[in-house]
């Protein structure tokens, strides 16, 4: 006879669920809030001088309407200027600033004297800046050290661009060397072709004026494409990053903001710092 199989019923033992402590969630929230508060306090302490300046804590003056409208970028600008107050400060302008009242262009934030100005002269192979003549003469009358720059178009003939700049700009004793402004990558040519064109422009300008040009570009463009191959040139670097407050040693000029207010100029204007004082700036001018 076959024995009947008897199935035994097994009882499953359920593991007790872990209790979720309300304190763990509170701890996470507390940690996040604490970190945020400490971060804000740290930023506030770091920018204490700039904040005090704009909210008149130093002089206990009543806030004016102009001061109320200041942006956080202005606080950072003041912080940068304070850290570099021994260095020479200047501007760069073009037709985008409209008609500038040069006799009023004297100081930044009513504290920092403006010593120099870069003026856009030409664009590509066929366009002269609409305000160049006016700005070039106005800066001279205002006793500012002036320099002329060319906005380079990568997809246009480099020698034709150099010829336009030479035709437009007549440097005098006390002016800054010519500047090549390169910001864009080419569309229809290789990087090697771009670099060849830049070198041709630079050589043509140096041959004509008898002085080595300066190159303007953004920091990333400089690091990625120009730093190594054009190391025998001096650079004017643009970097507006909030965390940067000092320039690198190998920069000749630093364009640290595009959002500054200057008497005599409507709207925003770029501000630059020379990596030295006024006497050192005069040393690099055309003789």
Active site residues: 92, 183
* 3-state DSSP assignment of residue 53: helix
Residue in this structure with the two tokens 């006799």, named with its chain if needed: 103
Ranges of H-type helices in 70-122 = 72-83
Q: Measured between alpha carbons, how far is 275 from 237 in angstroms, rounded to an integer?
A: 11
Q: Measured between alpha carbons, how far is 150 from 65 in angstroms, rounded to an integer?
A: 39
- Sign of the torsion formed by the C-alpha atoms of 53, 54, 60 and 66: positive
Q: Measured between alpha carbons, how far is 190 from 225 in angstroms, rounded to an integer?
A: 12
Q: Measured between alpha carbons, how far is 78 from 256 in angstroms, rounded to an integer?
A: 11
Cβ neighbours, 10 Å, residue 226: 17
Burial zone of 105 (CB within 10 Å; 0-12 exposed, 13-18 middle, 19+ buried): buried
């Amino acid at each position: 006879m076959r024995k009947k199989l008897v199935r035994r019923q097994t009882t499953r033992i359920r593991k007790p669920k872990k209790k979720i402590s309300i304190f763990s969630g509170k701890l996470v929230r507390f940690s996040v809030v604490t970190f945020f508060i400490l971060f804000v306090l740290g930023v506030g302490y770091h920018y204490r001088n700039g904040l005090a300046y704009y909210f008149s804590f130093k002089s206990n003056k009543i806030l004016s309407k102009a001061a109320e409208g200041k942006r956080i970028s202005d606080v950072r600008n003041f912080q940068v200027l304070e850290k570099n107050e021994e260095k020479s400060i200047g501007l760069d302008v073009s037709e985008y600033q409209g008609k500038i009242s040069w006799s009023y262009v004297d100081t930044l934030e009513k504290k920092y004297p403006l010593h120099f100005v870069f003026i856009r002269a030409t664009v590509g192979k066929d366009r002269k800046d609409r305000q160049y003549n006016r700005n070039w003469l106005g800066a001279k009358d205002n006793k500012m050290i002036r320099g002329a720059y060319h906005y380079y178009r990568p997809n246009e003939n480099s020698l034709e661009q150099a010829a336009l700049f030479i035709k437009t700009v007549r440097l005098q004793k006390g002016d800054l060397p010519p500047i090549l402004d390169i910001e864009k990558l080419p569309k229809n040519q290789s990087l090697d072709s771009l670099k060849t064109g830049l070198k041709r422009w630079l050589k043509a300008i140096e041959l004509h004026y008898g002085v080595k040009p300066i190159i303007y570009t953004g920091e990333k463009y400089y690091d990625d494409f120009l730093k190594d191959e054009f190391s025998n040139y001096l650079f004017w670097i643009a970097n507006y990053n909030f965390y940067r407050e000092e320039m690198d040693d190998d920069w000749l000029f630093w364009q640290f903001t595009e959002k500054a207010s200057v008497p005599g100029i409507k709207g925003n204007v770029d501000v630059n710092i020379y990596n030295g004082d006024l006497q050192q700036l005069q040393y690099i001018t055309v003789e």
